[in-house]
Amino acid sequence: MSGDTLGGGITDAELSERFEPVFEEIARGAIDREADRGLPYDEVEALRTAGFGRVRVPVEFGGLGASLPQFFRLLIALAEADSNLPQLWRGHIGFVESLLVHHDPELRERWLRRVSAGAIVGNAQSEQGNGSFWENATTVRAAGSGDAAGWSLSGRKFYSTGSLFADWIQTTATLDAEHSANVLVPAGAPGVSRIDDWDGFGQRLTGSGTTVFDDVRIAPEDVEVYPNGAFRGTTLFAVFQLIHLATLSGIARAAVRDITAFVQQRGRNLANPLYPQPRLDPQIQQVVGRVRSKSFGACATTLAAVDELDRVHRAQLGQEATPELFDAADLAVFAAQTAVIELVLDLTTEIFEVGGASAVTERFRLDRHWRNARTLASHNPLIYRQTIVGDAALNGTSPSEWITRTWQAVQANRTSSLSDSATAHTHDTAHITAHRSAS
């Protein structure tokens, strides 16, 4: 353990003492929850009580003050215990990271203190059927006047990861053609419905289903309006992807742990009776050695990308961040994405080579590692991230240009639609005029 801290925060030894017993208890029930589709409400509460939600909050605001490398090592360990837990905390983690460098000191302190008091923030950003994240069907409108002034939020979100377990839900909504808003919604407010309808074959317990907002009243201070297309340097793309990579790394460790235990308990080796105990068979040793090496590679790659993220985060705190630093962090994480996904999907498939048909019985549920890894690997599709990395290498294109291009595409499509409508209107008018003349 390195013992690194940030701003007088917690040490690695203190983190281990606080969280290892909680993670061990979470791991004990992981297979049964998987089998029964038991949502981990008790486990989330245990993490809340232990202070997991405030690990990154500075000590001055009531947090533990852990550094990014410390936190991501902790996240990998939690994923090894149960990969659903880091993902369902993903929205909360990203929210806290955005607060740490938020430009409004009053908002930053208000929310960091809420988080330190135990508040959990869920995520409800994505919608099914919208063309881009600049075009939310969910809307926010001014409502009331005087003391009753505020906002009204209406819409329907999917992939609402973690919102079933949250006290607050962070969402995005359309204000008008040129503006959107970040909105923080009390999860228990009238008009909020949280539906557990996530039907993916992996990561089944993350609460990634539907959230409905039906004329929900929002306080003025909980709506932050921003112009569409405006972009300033951010680490959030890197942060959100690194949470997935840390979770994949934890899955890799869990898969190696489980297949090692599986081999150790086996007492016969029908395929190679020269070694009656499979753990003594050199070919099986080779498979276990190979998957363990891939697990090591996945974790090391993830943590190397975390170091790049930490570099830009520290620069942000010192108001010294540059576009080049943001680009370097994004490129490191997107490059790591390819390596980690390939390593983890390979090893979660390869573990079955050591046991024949015995390894696929429901009793061991070894398939959950591949299913969960495949589900996580499908987020933020790899093909686009590889293109960004390649374009930067070949043409010097900044990763941040991608976000700008998405808004330009939305504007171009909107202009094209308006032009088509105008053409159709002109055609219809001419047709009606000609018809009347003929009459």
Under the banding of pLDDT at 50, 70 and 90, the label for residue 416 is low
Taking residues 216-226, report their average pLDDT: 96
Under the banding of pLDDT at 50, 70 and 90, the label for residue 131 is confident
317 alpha-carbon distance from chain centroid: 23
**Residue of 383, 293, 390, 292 lying closest to 338 (CA atoms):** 383
pLDDT tens by residue, 230-267: 777 899 999 999 999 999 999 999 999 999 999 999 88
The dihedral through the CA atoms of 92, 94, 98, 100 has a sign that is positive
pTM above 0.85, yes or no: yes
C-alpha to C-alpha distance for 255 and 370, rounded to whole angstroms? 9
Query: Which run of H or of E encompasses 154?
Result: strand 150-157
Taking residues 291-310, report their average pLDDT: 98
Under the banding of pLDDT at 50, 70 and 90, the label for residue 147 is low
Could you tell me if 144 and 111 are in contact, meaning their C-beta atoms sit under 8 angstroms apart?
Answer: no
Taking residues 334-351, report their average pLDDT: 98
DSSP letter at 187 equals T
**Residue of 27, 23, 67, 70 lying closest to 47 (CA atoms):** 23
Taking residues 385-405, report their average pLDDT: 92
C-alpha to C-alpha distance for 189 and 78, rounded to whole angstroms? 31
pLDDT at 419: 52
Taking residues 87-95, report their average pLDDT: 98
Could you tell me if 212 and 245 are in contact, meaning their C-beta atoms sit under 8 angstroms apart?
Answer: no
pLDDT at 336: 98
Q: Which domains does the chain have, with CATH numbers?
A: 12-119 (1.10.540.10), 124-227 (2.40.110.10), 236-401 (1.20.140.10)
pLDDT at 432: 26
Q: Directed axis angle between helix 12-28 and helix 68-81, to 10°?
A: 20
